[in-house]
Structure 1
Amino acid sequence: MKNFFSVKASALALGLLLAGCAKNKEVEPTITNIAVTNPDFQTLEDAAIRGDVAVLLGNKNAADPAGNFTVFAPTNDAFARLGLRSATDLTALQQPFLRSTLFYHVFSGTLPGSALTAGSTSASALGVTRRIIQRADGSRYVNGSRILGTDVAAANGLIHPIDKVLLATGADVLNSALALQKGNVFVKPELTFLVEAVVYCNLQSALTGTPGSPNLTVFAPTDQAFKDLGTLLNVPLNVPADIRKLPVATVTAVLLNHVVIGGAQGGKFTPELPESTTITAAGGPIALGAFNNGVLTAKGNGNAAPANMVIPDVQCTNGVVHVIDRVLLP
Structure 2
Amino acid sequence: MNKKMCARTLRNNTKYYQRMCICAVWLIVLISACRKQDIEPDPVGEPVPYTGPAKSLETTLFQTSNTLFIAAWKRADMTGRLHKLDSRTFTLFVPTDDAMKAAGWTLGKINTTLPDTLNALLAYYIADRNVAPASLATIKGNIALASLRTSADVPEYSIASPYTYLLFTGIHKDSLWMNGYPVSKWGNAIESTSGTLYTINRMLPLPQMDMLAYLQSDERFSFYLEACRINDSLYIEKNPWYNTQQTLTLLNPNPKYGGQYTLFAPTNEAFKKSGLQSIEDIRALACRTLPIGDAHNDEESYYVDPLTSLDSILLPHKMNFQGESGPYNPSGKPAHPAFFYNDLLDNTAISGMMLRLGQVGSSRPLMFNLEFTSKNGQVYVRRQGAKVAPMPLVQHDIQVLNGVIHVLNDGLLVP
What does 1:195-214 align with in structure 2 at a 5 Å threshold?
195-202=225-232, 203=246, 204-211=248-255, 213-214=257-258
What does 1:1-330 align with in structure 2 at a 5 Å threshold?
59-62=108-111, 107-108=121-122, 118=136, 119=143, 120-122=145-147, 129-135=165-171, 139-149=175-185, 160-161=201-202, 168-171=207-210, 173-180=211-218, 189-202=219-232, 203=246, 204-211=248-255, 213-215=257-259, 216-230=261-275, 237=277, 239-248=278-287, 249-260=308-319, 261=321, 262-263=326-327, 266-273=337-344, 274-275=347-348, 277-279=351-353, 285-290=369-374, 293=377, 296-300=379-383, 301-325=385-409, 326-330=411-415
CA distance in 1, matches of 2:207, 2:256: 14
Aligned length: 225
Q: 1:161-220 CA deviation, whole Å, 9 max, x = no partner?
A: 49xx9573432x33432333xxxxxxxx22111101101111323444514723322211
Please say if residues 144 and 271 of structure 1, whose CA atoms lie closer than 8 Å, have aligned partners that are also in contact: yes
C-alpha deviation, 1:131, in angstroms: 0.9
CA distance in 2, matches of 1:244, 1:289: 32
- Opposite residue 310 of structure 2, the aligned amino acid is V
Q: 1:98-151 CA deviation, whole Å, 9 max, x = no partner?
A: xxxxxxxx9448969x99965545467999734142237563111121224599
Aligned residues: CA RMSD? 4.7
CA distance in 2, matches of 1:258, 1:280: 16
- Opposite residue 170 of structure 1, the aligned amino acid is M
Rate the CA distance shift 1:278–1:314 in 2: closer, same or farther, 3 A: same
What residue in structure 1 maps to residue 242 of structure 2? none
Rate the CA distance shift 1:108–1:226 in 2: closer, same or farther, 3 A: same
Q: 1:42-97 CA deviation, whole Å, 9 max, x = no partner?
A: xxxxxxxxxxx76x66853236699x98xxxxxxxxxxxxxxxxxxxxxxxxxxxx
For residue 210 of structure 1, give the secondary structure of its aligned residue in structure 2. coil
For residue 109 of structure 2, give the secondary structure of its aligned residue in structure 1. coil
Q: 1:211-261 CA deviation, whole Å, 9 max, x = no partner?
A: 47233222111121112112xxxx5x1x44542232443322111121222
Please say if residues 352 and 367 of structure 2, whose CA atoms lie closer than 8 Å, have aligned partners that are also in contact: no
For residue 348 of structure 2, give the secondary structure of its aligned residue in structure 1. coil
Rate the CA distance shift 1:136–1:144 in 2: closer, same or farther, 3 A: closer
For residue 309 of structure 1, give the secondary structure of its aligned residue in structure 2. strand
Query: How many percent identity over aligned positions?
Result: 21
What residue in structure 2 maps to residue 40 of structure 1? none
For residue 272 of structure 1, give the secondary structure of its aligned residue in structure 2. helix
Rate the CA distance shift 1:219–1:65 in 2: closer, same or farther, 3 A: same
TM-score with structure 1 length normalisation? 0.52
C-alpha deviation, 1:283, in angstroms: 8.7
- Opposite residue 167 of structure 2, the aligned amino acid is R
What residue in structure 2 maps to residue 3 of structure 1? none
What residue in structure 2 maps to residue 101 of structure 1? none
Gaps of 5+ in 2: 1-71, 73-96, 137-142, 154-163, 189-198, 233-245, 288-307, 328-334, 356-365
Rate the CA distance shift 1:221–1:283 in 2: closer, same or farther, 3 A: farther
What residue in structure 1 maps to residue 52 of structure 2? none
Please say if residues 221 and 267 of structure 2, whose CA atoms lie closer than 8 Å, have aligned partners that are also in contact: yes
- Opposite residue 216 of structure 2, the aligned amino acid is L
- Opposite residue 352 of structure 2, the aligned amino acid is T
Find the structure with the greater CA-based Rg: 2
- Opposite residue 338 of structure 2, the aligned amino acid is G
More RCO (CA 8 Å, sep 6+): 1
Rate the CA distance shift 1:256–1:111 in 2: closer, same or farther, 3 A: closer
Q: Which moved more, 1:138-147 or 1:122-131?
A: 122-131
- Opposite residue 389 of structure 2, the aligned amino acid is A
Rate the CA distance shift 1:291–1:160 in 2: closer, same or farther, 3 A: farther
C-alpha deviation, 1:288, in angstroms: 0.9
Gaps of 5+ in 1: 1-15, 17-29, 36-52, 70-105, 152-157, 181-188
